[in-house]
Amino acid sequence: MAIDYEKLALEYHSREPRGKIYTGLSKPVVSQKDLSVAYSPGVAGPCREIHKNPELSFEYTGRSNLVGVITNGTAVLGLGDIGPEASKPVMEGKAVLFKKFADIDVFDIEVAAKDPDVFIAAVQALEPTFGGINLEDIKAPECFYIEEELRKRMKIPVFHDDQHGTSIIAGSAFLNALEITGRKIESTKVVFSGGGAAAIACANLFLSLGVQQKNIIMCDSKGVLYRGRTEGMNKYKEKFALETNIRTLSDALIGADAFVGVSAAGVLRPEMIMPMAKNPIIFALANPDPEITPEDAKKARPDCIMATGRSDFPNQVNNVLGFPFIFRGALDVQATTINEEMKMAAVRAIARLAKEDVPEQVLRAYNTAEGYHFGRDYLIPKPMDPRVLLYVAPAVAEAAMKSGVARKTVDIAQYTQHIERILGPTKRLIRKMRNNISAWSKKEGQKPRVVIVHGHEDRVIKAAAQMDYEGDVQTILLGNAEEIFSKADSLGIKNFKTKTTIIDPVGDQRCSEFAELLYKARQRKGVTRSAAQHLLRDGNYFASMLVEVGGAEAVIGGIVEPYVTGLKPIMEVIRAKEGRTMNGLYMFSYNKRMYFLADCTVCIDPTSEQLADIAENTARFAQQYTDETIRVALLSFSSFGSNRNEKCLKVANAASILSSRQVNFIFDGEIQADIALNEKLQERDFPFCKLQGQANVLIFPDLSSANIAYKIFSAITGSTGIGPILLGPRHPAAVMERGSNTEDLCNMIYMVANRYVQNQKSNESQTKK
């Protein structure tokens, strides 16, 4: 049964709050002081400074991250001239895409002005409000004149997305289609169907890419644009009028290499593409129904490369691959315009990304396990690929600086890392780890080796492939090589055999050596020689022994088995550091703050001494991963002796033990969670509390409360946690939960590798002392 999306959309848009966007606050307003700074009298300060220098409006207001999405509603989707009020849902939708994909704020403005000059005057008058203008759904040919005039008159980027968004994405797909079919751009013959904004913009961009004007034939609803034609012509179409006797789209397609349609459904019949050149490139971009369906095109010409504007067919030419990231790059260097150099940079960045391996995160978003690989059915990245931001925005920013339209200069490497925050704090944290690992590897001439149990598991193979691609960590998979390589092939992973190290514990010659070492270490704990030999057939024990003897720097287990099954070999073989307690923690980012919760996985009912160890382990770890002041709260259902229950006393004793150790972080306890997280409650009820601010390290009195709390925290806040992170073992180790996905595993690989690097640096520092 077909889904009625229009009916669903009516219900969706009418739910409270109505529409899709709202105004939020970027600063706290919780006190009289806040109000006096946000508004009168304090707000006069930035007003005075901006009056002296209007450019400071980018510094003291949200202008630098604010785009106006502006229309007059004369060409909305395929609905035509439906007016400004009816266009508003589309403009709000555009705002959603700007915010979702590039964290850009938007005011949507619907102007009741069909007269181009009136519309131009209205938009121009809004320049002090915005950092950029996105023109939308304005009919041709007026849209060309409107954009030209506004670009002349305004000193901020003005970008008509219906023209340039489509042309940029189509240009990227076109370049890659040329490469796949082995064509040279200067000799490629292209036929365009459509004479509106998108068609003319595509043709102009194709000229910039290198297509020769003599090799372009453009057709509109009246036929071919030719010299001397008067019906339905304007100066923008006149540029593409040729001296030719060809009059119809059918005739124009004879021998053509490519068809680009931005016209209407069904205008391209199967018989019309039969006389096209070998391996024809067919971009049928009319929405919602293309000029020809992929099914009909493939049936008529099995050798064709096909793209449409729809998400349910391969090679979707979707503007969302362009405009959010183009504006991101333009805004961040305070560009005065979006010029051809910036557009071309976006085209080539998108085309380049399509040739890279596609991460598991993207495959999950599209509910596919088969993978995407550069080729006929994958010309351009998917819109939900988060890497588009990191490819396109820096490329656009760099082009703006090089072409002289940027008012602000940025270091592109640092800028790329800065905008990664848009993808979430976890991504940024992982980037810091990768940079740390990479710098150490270059210095030492080797990569950290991480051995992963259960190498036959899909998630493990995909994670190893991702590590191979990114190149910072060497993974070692345990299992039968033939089985693992076969599985990798079935998952569509290329070159896995040549890049990945696989060890099969069953036939490995080191098993006897490892068994003897295990026997000697555990002989007084019930392990006989035969039992040790049996245990070494278990990948978990083999992996731990491999790390113990220096064959790898870190180990990761779990994934397909209970947590305790993966933990036991680590505790028995790698063991805890002398005099320390192992514990598991989760780290979360919420409201731009990092939180560390422990012990979530190891100690069921820790003693006071163990709680102190857990607090110290976790605080030391937190100091490495946040710049905030570490405040450790030892949690209980009592605060500072309000209940003398033995469970509360256990936590209070742990705080006393920490005091005797003279640790270098702020802590207090026993304390209730609401007090620990609320500075005002601390000031009011417990002015002696040492935390003096919101705690960011939360130590729970037992495993039950910690495990429940982190799962509730994750479910309610929607925060992405990293963990469980195992603290206290002599070598970096982790045990993944069975519900972990490939991205979780990749994050943990970087985590344990980074911990090894940090340990090495710490050892070097101590040696120098």
Residue 590: what pLDDT?
83
Within 10 angstroms of residue 258's Cβ, the number of other Cβ atoms is 26
Q: Tell me the catalytic residues.
A: 39, 94
Using CA atoms, how far apart are residues 44 and 254, in angstroms rounded to an integer? 68
Residue-wise pLDDT for 100-116, tens only, equals: 999 999 999 999 999 99
- In DSSP notation, 176-201 reads HHHHHHT--GGG--EEEE--SHHHHH
Cis amide linkage into residue 732, ω under 30° from 0: no
Distance separating alpha carbons of residues 698 and 678, to the nearest angstrom: 13
The reported pLDDT for the residue numbered 1 is 62
Interatomic CA distance for residues 135 and 150, integer angstroms = 10
Structure tokens at 207: 């000229």
CA dihedral of 499, 503, 507, 512, whole degrees rounded to 10 = 140
Distance CA 697, CA 704 (A): 17
Location of structure tokens 């090679």: 315
* Torsional class of 573: left (φ above 0), alpha (ψ -120 to 50), beta (otherwise): alpha
- For 545-550, what is the mean pLDDT? 95
Strand, coil or helix: what is 282? strand
Tell me the pLDDT band of 368, cut-offs 50, 70 and 90.
confident
**In the prediction, which pLDDT does 69 show?**
98
Structure confidence at residue 580 (pLDDT): 86
- Over range 546-567, report the average pLDDT: 94
CB 50 within 8 A of CB 56: yes
Q: Return the number of other C-beta atoms located less than 10 Å from residue 213's C-beta.
A: 11
Tell me the average pLDDT across 288-300.
Answer: 94
CA 14 to chain centre: 30
Omega within 30 of 0 (cis) for the link into 288: yes
Cβ-count burial of 688 within 10 angstroms (0-12 exposed, 13-18 middle, 19+ buried)? exposed
SS (H, E, C) 40-94: CCCCHHHHHHHHHCHHHHHHHCHHHHEEEEEECCCCECCCECCCHHHHHHHHHHH
Token look-up 């099969």 returns: 504
Indicate the DSSP class of residue 26: S
Q: What pLDDT score does 354 carry?
A: 95
What is the rounded CA–CA span in Å between residue 95 and residue 104? 8
* 56-87 pLDDT, tens digit each: 999 999 999 999 999 999 999 878 899 999 99
Residue 151 makes CB contacts below 8 A (sequence gap 6+) with 158, 337
DSSP 379: S
Q: Check: CB of residue 432 under 8 Å from CB of residue 462.
A: no
Residue 489 confidence (pLDDT)? 87
User: At which residue do the structure tokens 């069909």 appear?
Assistant: 114
608-625 and 646-661 helices, crossing angle to 10°: 60
Helix, strand, coil share of the chain (percent; to 5): 50, 15, 35
The token pair at 418 is 């800065």
For 317-335, the pLDDT digits (tens) are 989 999 999 999 999 999 9
310 pLDDT more than 90: no
Structure tokens at 739: 């519900």
pLDDT-wise least confident of 193-202, 208-217, 585-594: 585-594
User: What is the pLDDT averaged over residues 499-512?
Assistant: 88
Q: Count of CB atoms within 10 A of residue 75's CB?
A: 22
Q: Which of 596, 588, 585 is nearest to 622 (CA)?
A: 596
Percent above pLDDT 70 for the chain: 99
pLDDT score recorded for residue 591:
79
Please give the full DSSP string across 108-163, using - where no structure is assigned.
Answer: EEE----SHHHHHHHHHTTGGG-SEEEE-S--TTHHHHHHHHHHHH-SS-EEEHHH
Does the structure show a pLDDT above 80 at 596?
yes
Q: Does the structure show a pLDDT above 80 at 768?
A: no
Q: What is the pLDDT of residues 215-255, one digit of tens each?
A: 999 999 999 999 999 999 999 999 999 999 999 999 999 99
d(CA 589, CA 717): 10
For β-strands 722-727 and 583-590, DSSP reports them as antiparallel
Contacts of 701 (CB under 8 A, 6+ apart): 606, 611, 634, 635, 636, 647, 650, 651
pLDDT of residue 769: 62
Choose among 565, 604, 564: nearest CA to 705. 604
- Predicted pLDDT at 119: 98
pLDDT of the residue at 421: 82
pLDDT at position 369 = 64
Which token pair is 73?
Answer: 């509603």
Q: What is the pLDDT of residue 723?
A: 85
**For residues 17 and 13, what is the distance between their CA atoms, to the nearest angstrom?**
9
Q: Specify whether the CB–CB gap between 576 and 728 falls below 8 A.
A: yes
Mean of all residue pLDDT scores within the chain: 93
Which residues, including other chains, have CB under 8 Å from residue 348's CB and lie 6 or more apart? 172, 175, 395
pLDDT of residue 739: 85
Give residue 367's pLDDT. Answer: 77
What single-letter DSSP state applies at residue 378?
Answer: B
C-alpha distances in Å from residue 587, one per residue of 558, 571, 713, 723? 19, 22, 11, 7
How many CB atoms within 10 Å of residue 596? Answer: 23
478 falls in which pLDDT band (50, 70, 90)? very high
Q: How far apart are CA 1 and CA 313, in angstroms?
A: 19
DSSP 3-state assignment of 726? Answer: strand
Please state the rounded mean pLDDT for residues 441-455. 95
Among all chains, which residue has been given the structure tokens 């007059």? 72
**CA end-to-end distance (rounded Å), the chain:** 73
Helix axes 481-490, 458-470, angle to 10 degrees: 80
Q: List pLDDT tens digits, range 129-187.
A: 999 999 999 998 999 999 999 999 999 999 999 999 999 999 999 999 999 999 999 99
